[in-house]
Structure 1
Amino acid sequence: MSDHEEKKKIGIKDIARLANVSIATVDRVLNNRKDVSEKTRQKIKEIIKEHNYQPNLYARSLSVKNNLSFAVLIPRTSLETGYWQLCLDGINKGISEFSAFGIIIEVFFFDQEAQQTFHDAVENILAKKFNAVIIAPIFIEETKIFVQECKSRNIHTLFINSDIKGHSSMGYIGPDLYSTGKLAGNLTSYLVGDRAKVLILSVAKGLENYKYLQTKIDGFVDYLYNTDKTLDVTVKDIPFNNYDEIEPELWRMTNEFHPDVIFVTTSRVSIIGKFFQDHQELTKPYIIGFDFLSANVDYLAKGYVDFLICQRPDKQGYLALHHLYRYYLLKEYSNEFKSMPIDILTKENYAFYEN
């Protein structure tokens, strides 16, 4: 038998024989359990690496079938934005892929404008026996309480979209929000000269729950502060979803501040694009916003939005489930995450981009 064939066919019994230990000891190392000396553990790991041992995922999936389940807790998508639908698309891709290994994955939704719906979803999750929960921490204090309860029940937690540092047991998968703000600030510094007027605008109902937006604003302002330009920066909120309510606020702010740049911190940038399309009598400022949503892309293509910063919500949803799969099924233990890529789209390159 060739060395290649031997490496290809090696199993737990072979590893135990080569290491001169019991099968139970090898199993403890593979599953990262205690009661193995560090010297023996390293010896077994070296044999595993040398022989390129791959676990039998099918056999392992049989052992966890009907015993391993994950919950996902995210906002439901709304008529105003498709952001969470993209995240759900990624989650559904993960469900389709990982359910083949016997993993049960259930999605729970809440309304971003109604805390009670979050509490109701939490109660439904805690009424069942999940091994881990993926959470979009929109309601920060409520999420902290939920995570603490999960900890007391030995349920792992993993955040997506935004982070509450130091609270989830398995970390965070999503964009570095501070860096997304800095990127928008960088773009702004190229677009305008000294003494330009910049309007930072957050548009959404229930903005009091969007605490993570401040991280973007901090990154944006900090970047501009460190340039050699003196800019007039104003921060404003429009706490509405409907265009009929947003339009008069935009009209008032535009005529009051006469901005050279509008930085929209949410994914509602299409609303700003529509406003300037409807009001051709106004001088359109540069407009920077977030996310590769169809409505946003439409106004980007028309030239009413200048830049879209994309945070890949679909990939966030999929990678969160993939991390749990690797942790529980492949026994890969790591809390080291790379933040999601931050992409810049313009009228010239959006057609070549895919979520």
Structure 2
Amino acid sequence: MKKCHIAYLACTAALIGTGLGAAPSVADHTVHVVHPGQSIQKAVDAAEPGDTVLLTYGTYHQSVDVSTPGLTLRGVGRGTVLEPAAGASTGSTAPSTGSGAAKDSKGSKGSKQTKAATSCAASGSGICVVGTKDQNVDGVTIAGLTVSGFAKNGVYATEADGLTVRHVTAVKNGVWGIATEHSVHGVFHDNTARDNGDAGLFLANTIKEEQGATDTEGTVVEHNRLEGNRIGVTVRRLRNLTLAGNRVTGNCAGIFVVGDENKPKAGFVTVRENRIERNNKSCPKTARLDALQGSGIVLTGAEDSLVTRNVIKDNVGKSPLSGGIVLFKSFVGTTSERNRISDNLLRGNSPDLVNTDTGKGNTFEGNSCRSSKPAGLC
């Protein structure tokens, strides 16, 4: 494998010579190859829809904005690492919602883009996929790399349609490992999010505004590994989304599906076939949420969701939200309704099933468990 990797890079170097370059590829798309010490943003700005920007092995001390539709930004594996530049922003401002690939009035990629290229770094994030309210950025893929140590987020996307994030390792970022808002048709698979300040994966309708839940139109979160975060996965004020086959362990809480008083409510979320174990890290209370420890799956303020065929073990804590699967009335008083909790295997949680919600139509059936609050749910 090592020889193949070296041979691949050697062939790439032969195609492009020395320095930043581009090699023609199939279907008239171009592969732009970047080496450590060169500008990722420069390659992204030069790319056309459908092109690939390939980052070779090594560490890149920079951030990058992507708003070219159909672009693939890809490394060669975990050894392709993006870290903050020296003296980078502390992330005190929100991620940019402008277009990092806008053309100037003459149609060339000029000074506007150079200015936009700093927006992701200024926001404290590593990779930003940015569309606008009037025009989503479609079909972007981020793959095969590590984003580490950013003040806010490893990967952040807004106004994205069909974003794919795969084989990305997001580690020790200050807020979220991988995060999206205002986005649809997302695919997040085979990623690792570890030791991030808040959620490893965070998906929301909008971060800063009050708004009803939005339809993700079938976003899928599958086969990811989420470890040591405050929350493994947070789904906030969204509908029509699936979380499947993820491994979630060592967080303060595993999976949160969160709604509030806004309409429409959060819901129609499927949580299936995940393995959720020992999420017993202790996290203090925040302005929005009680202290966390020992929570497997929590539904709060959600409706019409299905939690099924999950393996949930040894989640133990002293938080009001502790337990294997927990239905909890939201902190603004919104109940969860018509959720189905079925055919899950629960062992060693404290307790296995919890329903402190007064909402109507929630059902518990076919679960293999030994303890519940109130009694009788197993």
Whether TM exceeds 0.5 here: the answer is no
Report the structure, 1 or 2, having the larger helix content.
1
TM-score normalised to structure 1 length: 0.25
Report the structure, 1 or 2, having the larger strand content.
2
- The higher relative CO (CA closer than 8 Å, separation ≥ 6) is in 1
TM-score normalised to structure 2 length: 0.24
